[in-house]
Structures are given as structure tokens and as C-alpha cells.
Structure 1
Amino acid sequence: MSAKPQRHRRARRLTFTALALTAGAGAMVAAALPAGAASGGGAAKSRTVDVQMLSFNDFHGTLEPPQGSSGTVSERQADGTTKAIPAGGVEYMASALREARKGHEYSVTAAAGDMIGASPMLSGMFHDEPTIEALNKLGLDVTSVGNHEFDEGKTELRRMAYGGCHPVDGCFEYGKTFGGSQFQYLAANVTDEKTKRPMMSPTFIWKKGDVKIGFIGVTLEGTPDVVTAEGVKGLKFGDEVETINKYANELNKQGVKSIVALIHEGGLPASGAYNYDCDVPGAGAGISGAIVDIAKNVDPKVDALVTGHTHQAYACNIPDPAGNPRMVTSAASYGRLFTDTTLTYDRQTKDIVRTPLSSPKPVQKVVSRDFPKAGDMTELIQRWNALAAPIASRPEGYISADVPGRGSEAPEKPLGDLIADAQLEALAPADKGGAQLAIMNPGGIRADLAYKAAGGEGDGVVTYGEAYTVQPFTNMMNVVDLTGAQLITALQQQVTGPVNGPNPKILQVSKGFTYTLDMTKAGADRVVVDSVRLNGAAIDPAKTYRVAMNEFLAGGGDGFTVLKEHKNKLVGASDLDCFNAYLNKSSAAAPIAPPAADRITVVK
């Protein structure tokens, strides 16, 4: 059947909905379908059936409960205040998902990318094999790729999908060969530059009995901007909307009318509370960000969008181009939440019934630590921890209090300052590069440094495993020549979006480097040029400075294109080695205090 009649049929259902609501007909869906078409079971096969879709995103190999603010979700209370709820940990997530599936004959589990990459040491040290094993046990059916699936390149991603031992490190467990994913990875908009074909499957059709739902998986078109050049070498990333619409047509030609898009791109809700209702009219209601334009342009053939990348929680109705209601969801990150969505499947049309009363709104469910631990996940964690323990438990240094990083809402993060200081100290010696300052991308800070270990004592010890969790990429450090003008341009590239747009990526800077951000202004004018100073002296646009940064930034990552114009590059130690060397100089008697985060003055 062509796409046009399909859209007309859906439009007629919506017209009836409006009439039924005007007449006060509460049982609109039942009235719109023939007798006996009510959803549910029964001896006779009903026309519609409810399919449960459980979804999550941005898991990032977080098998153990995440520390600090990364291990909580914000819950909106009846009085308008918010409350932090401890959440996350795959032992609890497995129990939560298994409990949610009870009583549901039709249930599919889907994800929207970044299942691996930027992972804590328990998974990252073993190239994320433990996470793939855990996701298999969780019952994941399908996921799109995200940008972090490319952290180690396309060959390693294919190994995650198809199995085999690591080409360098070999097999991690004696007598065992890594089997790969039992779920389907989708990469519809990622093509091989030589063959022009998708590097992995573009679509997946989930079937149970006579119910069929098609999934299309894409990552953000801007993946090359947020991954090292080596990670995306030989690949091309296409437009999300064009790709989804193309494969929606192909699924329709195969007789699949019910379609879900898994998109590793997201939005920013007006509230950070997981239970915030972004569909309630009023001040501050709604959602912004890249996913809004994507949702407004994805073909009406697609019935729901599961999204990610921004690590936010939302379940918003963004109407499709035909004006039909369509849900767009995201479940925060690190396995702290999952979304429970009911898809009402019409056996006659083979399509999802998308009307305001056809099914309940998606529900965000907290992976509470009140759930019992799943025994199989506990065994998995213990097994891999035993392999990691000799290195992971090694003390690296001491801190005197929590050092906020990933969870900090401020543009300047204490942990970002500490990391930049560590890089400057390691690379300042003349024979190490002669760095005069260091800059660090905020996305590379993957966790907080918690004074009290998760479930343990509060002794301020920072272990190798904890340091690895903060800096998991092992990016090599570069020391390069940049002019003062180029440095100022880099600062301006942080804030070239509109004043009320998505949060800009603010570079973290080493001690002695200071400047002012005036957020009351627009674009590049937000950087007060006269305020940019190094050790008290104004930056000279014509002078050359030696700047330390990781290889991701040196390659122009995160949109800092001016940084690619550097000269006289010297490659140094890894970012993790620099970080640990800095930690090693502390002691129980002289721990590192959280930096004051007073290098960037923000005017609001």
C-alpha cells in the first residue's frame, strides 16, 4: 500500500476522534473499531493488541551503581520542589525490567545508542565485553548506534556485534571467546565511504505471532564532531530525517506499517526532573534542542521516536508533519531510568493506533535500588571485578571532599579545573612540550570524584578504577602552538549559539588562565575579549602560546574547528596518565582540595 493512503487512513481516525470527543464519547477507540476490537487477550483474537516497549539510552557501560550525582535522578514533588533519588546499577535494572515485563504477552526492549563507550573501568578495561554480555542478559532486542560506539573505530564496533577476541589484548577469560551481541545493532545513516552501503543493518523487524514492528536506527549526523578522527575513519554520517524517511518507505514496501525510530540525538526539557510533564501548557513547558526539528520532519509513517545523546529524561508529544500525535522519549542515562510505552497495534491495518485515547502516555520508571539485585548480574559483576581487581583497586591519590564533574551544572566544573591542572603540570616541562596552559573538553569528564566510595567508607582514596571512570578514553595529550587570536576564537566557538539555546560546551581551563563570559550578549560577543588573561597578562592576539589539549580537541572535536589550525605538535602521555601522576603527588595527610572554580566569570 502506498504511503499516501496510509496517511489518509490515519487522518480519518483523527477526524473521528475530534467528533467523538466533542460528543463526549469516552470510549472513542472502541467506537472507532468493529465490535470485539477491544485491546487485550480473550478466547477470540481481538483486532488490537497492546505491545509494551521498554526503552533506554546512553548506558555507557555503567554496570555498577554510578557515583555522585550521576547516580541519582531528580524527582519533582507535589509542592514543586525536587528530590534526588538514588538510581542505577545493572543488578537493579535487570530486576526492574523483568518485573515490568510480567503480564505482558507482547514486550520488546529497545535502546537509542551509546550502550558502550566512555565506560567505567569494569567495562572499559575489557573493551566493553562485560556490557555486551549484560545487555544480552537484560533482554535487549535492538539498539541504534550512538557516537560512543565509534570510540574504538568501526572494526571494534563490528566485533561488539559479531564476537571474537580482541585483536591486541586477546581473550580475557581463559577458554572463553567473546560471543558478541544477541541483540541487533542498527546504523542506517552510517555508510562505508568506499562501498556506499550501511556499515551495519539499517532496520530490524520485531515479530511475535502476527504482530510486526519495524525499527530504524540512526546516530546523530554530527558524530564526526564528537569522536576522534580515527574512530570514524572511512565512514560517512547522513542526515537523520532523510535516512529515517527512506527506510520507513522501505519497511512499508515490506508490509511493515508499525515503525519506531531509534535516534541517538535528543533534546533539552524545561525541567531536569524525570517526572516533569513537558506536555502541560504553561510557563517553562516543553522541550528544545535538535530532536524537535527532527521529530517535526520525520515521516508520519513512523509511530514513535526513542531518542538519546543529551542524557535527559522526557516523554513529549511532538506532532508529526501530518499533525498526528507522536511520542518522543528519552530515559536519562547510565541505566537510572527506562521508559515504558504502550503501542496499540491494529491487526487489520498492521499499524499503531495513534490517537489521544488509544493508549496511556509513556511512563518513566526509576531503576530504584529498592529492587532486589538480579543474581545473574551480581555473578557477572563479581566475575569481571575479579579480573580487574589487581589494577582497579590500586590507590592513586587522595581528595579532601567531593570534586563535582559530570554532575555539575555550572559552566566551570571543579573536576574540569583539576584535570586541566594535571595536564598543564605534566606537560609544562620543556622536554614534555613546554605547555603554558591547558584546555579540557567538558564531555570528556565522565563522572564526579566522590569522597565516599559507593557502598564503602569515606576515606577520600581515589583508586585507579575511579580515576579511569573519570577519564576513560585514554586520549593522547598534544602540546601545540596557537596564536592568541586563535585562542580567543576557540573561546568564542564555545558560545556561538543563541542566548536561550542549548547549553554551550564550555572548555575547562588550567590555573592562571581567566576570562569573562557575558551571557546577556549573543554569539561571539559573549566572550569579553579584554578579560582573557594568562597569569594576569592580557592575551596578545599576535603572540604564540604553547597549549596542552587532548587529541580529540586538537582534531577540532566538539566544533572547535580553530584548534585544528595548530602548529608544532608534540604528542605526550595519555590524559589518564597525566591525571594519575597529579593524583600520585597527594597523600592522606595532604589530600587534593576541590578547585574553587573561579577561573571563568559568568555574567547572567
Structure 2
Amino acid sequence: MKLIALNDFHGNLLPPRDPTLLPDRPGQPDIPVPLGGASYISTAVAQLKAANPRNVVVAAGDLISASPLQSSLFHDEPAIAVMNGIGLEFSAVGNHEFDRGRGALLRMQRGGCAEDGTLGQDTCVNGPFPGAAFRYMAANVVDETGTPLLPAVGIKTFIVDGRMPLSIGFIGLTLEGTPELVNRTGIAGLRFLDEAETINREAAALTKQGVRAIVVLIHEGGEPPVGADLDDESCPGFAGAITGIVAKLDPAIDLVISGHTHRVYRCRLPTADPARTILVTGAGSAGRYLTDIDLQLAADTGDVLSAAARNVPIVNDSAANVRPDRYPPLAPEPKVAAIVAEFDRRSRERSLQPVGRIASALSRQQDTAGEMPLGYVIADAQLAAAAKQADRRADFALMNPGGVRAELAPLDAAGTVTYGQVYTVQPFGGALMTMTLSGTQIDALLEQQWRADGRYAILLPSQGFEYAWRASAPLGARIDPASIRLRGKPLSPTGRYRVNVNAFLANGGDGFRVLLEGTERVEFGIDRDVLIDYLSAQPVKPPKLGRIRRLD
């Protein structure tokens, strides 16, 4: 049996702008190769299917949202349309499937019109929307009655040479921590259950039905160390939440297809049984790779005898190809290419509209201290917008790094940036909020940048606010309170400060629960519109660094 897997597509109908570094000849530096694009994915899927007629196309979540304009402008219906065209059959939900709330997710599955008229048109912006032809699965997401919001499992059965049917069961789920990654108002009433417990429960139910080959599609993942040999399936140094989940899985689980971390890997990870490992795969993000998985099943029992995987780069012809002998480009598949072309055409006029200027490129990469030039500019823009309204003025603004989705680079010598570029940087269109916190609460908020599971999110402050931290200090004591300064002066523990954040953070997103305690909350503006206003006022220069200092 052949499984063809992807994850974290994020509505990237067109190839991502930046090429991917891939290995060249031994001893030679890596070379940039253009990867991705929905029509090229479709071609690659068709080629892999042709190699084995007994196949399934699956995904591990985040197919939609945090998307470029060509998809997001149309409520991510284009992303679903291309997945239908590619032939996707089963997908786990990811945290981004919940960005617009449970109702919007159910509409993605079932079809129907969007509830808003954001384009100033009929709410059926693309005509009748049929929904996903594939099955979204959410085994660990239950509603107020304890019922899964979407199906927990899917089964595909094959008849091989007229013999007994062979079935593969798929369990789909998202990470338990999804509520910390989305706006909580959209998931009110939903519960997100423990991943390993859910998988084992559903595996037992599948086994009772006679399914002996069980595959997990989970929107949670891990990270190989920088410079790791991706051909070494032992994956030394591999880390991340998926390792702890796999270690608890029932022996009935044969394969784990993962996502969320946007990394490329295929690893044999240890389980509770020291003599047993499970193959765990991840296919990066934005459609740059597919994972080609071959399962050998016993003809008499349906048990998995072996599992092998390789990650296949989706080489496109969007730029001059480098080393076509090593990385031959795929041709676009016509039917999916037509879908992409239609939505690209419909979004192009708005996408190419100039909205501002920047003096030079603004990076979204964080350095070892956590500083990010583009994140600082966004925070500065939000503070400036708040200052224009007396009842919404803030002392400082904070931006979450995960909300900055792309870098911002000028298109010409004049420094022009377009609406489409800004949209790609901030695709969520979230509201902004100003609230009051005490100095003590701000200190506690900054400590919440690091969590017990090893994850972290370094908040990006506006100009005039600074702080310092120590990596070697214990959790809860990494910030030097004396280093927290506003316009050069230390915060008073009992002082009252007006803080501006986006709605995602204001509702406790990324685990910043202190923000739920904020008082005198006043909402205003949309993050993307505020950034456009800031860029249109004057050519924006890269901000001076030094707002965040790492002390060790």
C-alpha cells in the first residue's frame, strides 16, 4: 500500500517565494531550488499514485489559514478546492483549522456560504461552496456533550487479487494545546483531549472492528537538530512534543504522520517497549514536500509487516532551474492549475496595490535574544495607531512572533510594498485591544514566554519598552524585574500601565494567560490595516535593536 502525505499547506496555492536549500554533490554547498505550488503537488501525487494503484492521500492538518491572499481573501475555499483536486482523502485538523472558529471549520467540511461579506459582495464569494471532498478528523476535539466535533477515524479498504479485504484505519487529531494557539472565543465549549490517550482509545475500537493496520494523522510534531542527516532514521537529537506522545502509544499503532513544526523528517522513534520503534514522518510546510510511504501488509491478516518513507521535494518550474539533472522540475497539473489561476487572477488587482514603503527588507527571523525587526515594526505600528485615539492610547505594545508569517521586502528601488505582501505577513485580520496591567502582572506575563514543555514565544515590544532575560535561570525567574523599563524608567510593581496586543494574545493565546486578567479592555482596529497605515505614512526603516537583551 502507498500513503502520500502532506501537512501545513496553509493555502499556498502558488509556490512560496523563497527557494529551499537542497543538497548538491557531496562536498558541495547546498543549492537553492524552487519548491511547492498546488498544481505541481497534484502532478507529484498523480505520479506516486501511478506507482501503486492501492494508495491513499492523507494530511496532518493546517491545510487552511495563515494563508497567502489568493486563498485567504476567499475564506480559504481555494485551499479546500485544490485539496479536492489533488485527491486528498483524509486529514487531521490542525490548530489553524480553528482560527475562524468551529462554525467556519464545519463549513469547510460540509460546504455552504460564509457568514460575512468581507469582500463587499454576496457572502457566497465563489458561488455555492461544496466543502471538502475529503474527511476532516478530530478524534480529540469534543463538544459540550462529549461528542467528537468531527469524525475520529477513517477506514480505507482494498481488495488485493480477489483475496480477503485489507483495511487501513486512520486516526486524526490535533494537538491538545490548540486552545493556546487560537482565539478562544471561536472554540468556546470545545475540549481538546490528551493525544496519546485518545489515539489508544480509538486504536482499540479499530482493532475490535478487525482493522490491523492503523495510522495516526496528528497535528503535532518534532524538530531534528540543525544540520541533522535527514537520511538517518535513528534521528539523534530529535526533540519535540511528538516524542512523548509516541512513547505512550499502543503497540497497535503502525505509523505516525505528523505536522505543526514545519520540519522535514522521517524518524524511528522509541516507544514504551524498548524493543520497538514507530516510523514518524513530517513533510515540512507550504507544499514544498510530500512524504511517500510504502506499507507492506500481510495478505492473510492485514498486519503491517514493514513501513518505509521518503520525503519528495516538489520541484517546480517557477524559476530558472538549478541542476535539472538532480532536481528535474515537475509540470503543473492542468485541472488544479486552472483553479490556482482563477483565484490568482481574482486576487491580483488587490494584491498588487501599493500600500507603503520600506527602506530595506524587514526580517522575521528572531536572533538568540528573540529580537525580530519586522515584529518590532508591527508593534510600533500598533502603538502608533492606539495613540491616535484618546481612550485607546497605550504605554507600549507587544507582538507575538507566531503572528508574523513572512518577511517584508521592497519590490523596487523606491521601497514599494503591496497589499498582498502585507496580507501575507498578517493574514489573520485580528482586532487589536488595549488593556490595563500592573507592573507585577507585566513581569509575570514576560515569564510566561517559556513553558515547562520546552516551548517558548519571545514577545516583541514596541519602541520605548525593554527587558532582559537569562536562559540559565529557572522557569518563572528568567526575567530580571529591574530590567523591565518603559521609556528608560523601571516599572513600578503597583503601577498601572496600558498595554496593546492583538485579540489572539488578549484571549490568552500562546499561553499568555496573564493577559486574561487585563482590565479596562478596549478593542479597536485590525492588525493588518494598522500596519498598512503605518507603512503608508513614511518609508519605514529597520528598527534599532536592543529592546530585548539576553544576558547569557
Q: What TM-score, normalized to structure 1?
A: 0.84
Match of 2:192 in 1: 237
Match of 1:379 in 2: 338
Return the letter of the residue paired with 2:487.
Answer: N
Could you tell me how far apart the structure 1 residues matched to 2:106 and 2:24 are? Answer: 41
Question: Does the 8 Å CA contact 1:67/1:447 hold for their aligned counterparts?
Answer: no
| Partner SS for 1:102 | helix
Q: Point out where structure 2 has 5 or more consecutive residues left out of the alignment.
A: 118-122, 160-164, 317-328
The within-5 A match list for 1:246-285 is 246-271=201-226, 275=230, 277=232, 279=234, 285=236
Match of 1:227 in 2: 182
| Partner SS for 1:526 | coil
| Partner SS for 1:133 | helix
Match of 1:216 in 2: 171
Quick one: which of 254, 258, 280 aligns to 1:303? Answer: 254
Q: Are 2:86 and 1:86 equivalent residues in the alignment?
A: no
Could you tell me how far apart the structure 1 residues matched to 2:442 and 2:535 are? Answer: 28
Question: Does the 8 Å CA contact 2:37/2:288 hold for their aligned counterparts?
Answer: yes
Question: Does the 8 Å CA contact 1:319/1:325 hold for their aligned counterparts?
Answer: yes
Could you tell me how far apart the structure 1 residues matched to 2:370 and 2:282 are? Answer: 24
Match of 2:138 in 1: 187
Q: Are 2:510 and 1:558 equivalent residues in the alignment?
A: yes
Cα gap change, 1:405 to 1:493, in 2 (>3 Å): same
The within-5 A match list for 1:585-596 is 585-586=537-538, 591-596=539-544
Match of 1:350 in 2: 302
Match of 1:467 in 2: 422
- Residue deviations 1:371-411, cap 9 Å, x none? 22222233212211232233222111122322111687862
Deviation at 1:243, TM superposition (A): 0.8
Return the letter of the residue paired with 1:136.
Answer: N
Cα gap change, 1:390 to 1:408, in 2 (>3 Å): farther
Q: Are 2:259 and 1:312 equivalent residues in the alignment?
A: no
Q: Are 2:349 and 1:390 equivalent residues in the alignment?
A: yes
Question: Does the 8 Å CA contact 1:397/1:462 hold for their aligned counterparts?
Answer: yes
* Sequence identity (%): 40
Quick one: which of 144, 148, 152 aligns to 2:100? Answer: 152
Could you tell me how far apart the structure 1 residues matched to 2:25 and 2:251 are? Answer: 35
Return the letter of the residue paired with 1:92.
Answer: Y
Question: Does the 8 Å CA contact 1:74/1:273 hold for their aligned counterparts?
Answer: no
Q: Are 2:377 and 1:427 equivalent residues in the alignment?
A: no
Could you tell me how far apart the structure 1 residues matched to 2:371 and 2:24 are? Answer: 26
Return the letter of the residue paired with 1:441.
Answer: N
Match of 2:156 in 1: 206
The within-5 A match list for 1:355-374 is 358-359=306-307, 361-369=308-316, 370-374=329-333
Question: Does the 8 Å CA contact 2:290/2:313 hold for their aligned counterparts?
Answer: yes
Could you tell me how far apart the structure 2 residues matched to 1:167 and 1:488 are? Answer: 40
Quick one: which of 403, 408, 416 aligns to 2:375? Answer: 416
Cα gap change, 1:491 to 1:290, in 2 (>3 Å): same
The within-5 A match list for 1:61-140 is 61-68=11-18, 71-73=19-21, 75=23, 78-79=26-27, 82-140=30-88
Match of 1:570 in 2: 522
Question: Does the 8 Å CA contact 1:65/1:87 hold for their aligned counterparts?
Answer: yes
Cα gap change, 1:272 to 1:212, in 2 (>3 Å): farther
| Partner SS for 1:122 | helix
Match of 1:524 in 2: 476
Return the letter of the residue paired with 2:185.
Answer: E
Q: Point out where structure 1 has 5 or more consecutive residues left out of the alignment.
A: 1-50
Question: Does the 8 Å CA contact 1:318/1:325 hold for their aligned counterparts?
Answer: yes
Question: Does the 8 Å CA contact 1:274/1:364 hold for their aligned counterparts?
Answer: no
Cα gap change, 1:408 to 1:231, in 2 (>3 Å): farther
Q: Are 2:331 and 1:331 equivalent residues in the alignment?
A: no
- Residue deviations 1:51-105, cap 9 Å, x none? 111111111111112234xx53565974496554432221222222222333212
Return the letter of the residue paired with 2:257.
Answer: V
Could you tell me how far apart the structure 1 residues matched to 2:242 and 2:506 are? Answer: 28
Could you tell me how far apart the structure 1 residues matched to 2:77 and 2:438 are? Answer: 43
| Partner SS for 1:230 | helix
- Residue deviations 1:477-500, cap 9 Å, x none? 0011111111111111112448xx
| Partner SS for 1:268 | coil
Deviation at 1:274, TM superposition (A): 8.2
Could you tell me how far apart the structure 1 residues matched to 2:60 and 2:191 are? Answer: 19
Match of 2:147 in 1: 197
| Partner SS for 1:416 | helix
Return the letter of the residue paired with 1:291.
Answer: I
| Partner SS for 2:277 | coil
Question: Does the 8 Å CA contact 1:519/1:526 hold for their aligned counterparts?
Answer: yes
Cα gap change, 1:525 to 1:84, in 2 (>3 Å): farther
- Residue deviations 1:505-562, cap 9 Å, x none? 1011111111222223332332222211111111221111111001111111111111
Return the letter of the residue paired with 1:384.
Answer: F
Could you tell me how far apart the structure 1 residues matched to 2:71 and 2:47 are? Answer: 25
- Residue deviations 1:110-130, cap 9 Å, x none? 111111111111111111100
Structure number, greater radius of gyration? 1
Deviation at 1:168, TM superposition (A): 2.8
| Partner SS for 2:477 | helix
Question: Does the 8 Å CA contact 1:393/1:464 hold for their aligned counterparts?
Answer: yes
Could you tell me how far apart the structure 2 residues matched to 1:151 and 1:74 are? Answer: 32
- Residue deviations 1:122-145, cap 9 Å, x none? 111111100000001111111000
Cα gap change, 1:561 to 1:58, in 2 (>3 Å): same
The within-5 A match list for 1:501-516 is 501-502=454-455, 504-516=456-468
| Partner SS for 1:158 | helix
Cα gap change, 1:378 to 1:54, in 2 (>3 Å): same
Count of residue pairs the alignment pairs up = 529
Question: Does the 8 Å CA contact 2:21/2:30 hold for their aligned counterparts?
Answer: no
Q: What TM-score, normalized to structure 2?
A: 0.91
Question: Does the 8 Å CA contact 1:241/1:294 hold for their aligned counterparts?
Answer: yes
Cα gap change, 1:486 to 1:413, in 2 (>3 Å): same
Return the letter of the residue paired with 1:462.
Answer: V
Cα gap change, 1:367 to 1:595, in 2 (>3 Å): farther
Could you tell me how far apart the structure 2 residues matched to 1:596 and 1:342 are? Answer: 51
Match of 1:482 in 2: 437
Could you tell me how far apart the structure 2 residues matched to 1:399 and 1:430 are? Answer: 25
Cα gap change, 1:113 to 1:418, in 2 (>3 Å): same
Return the letter of the residue paired with 1:571.
Answer: E
Return the letter of the residue paired with 1:178.
Answer: F
Deviation at 1:463, TM superposition (A): 1.2
Cα gap change, 1:208 to 1:496, in 2 (>3 Å): closer
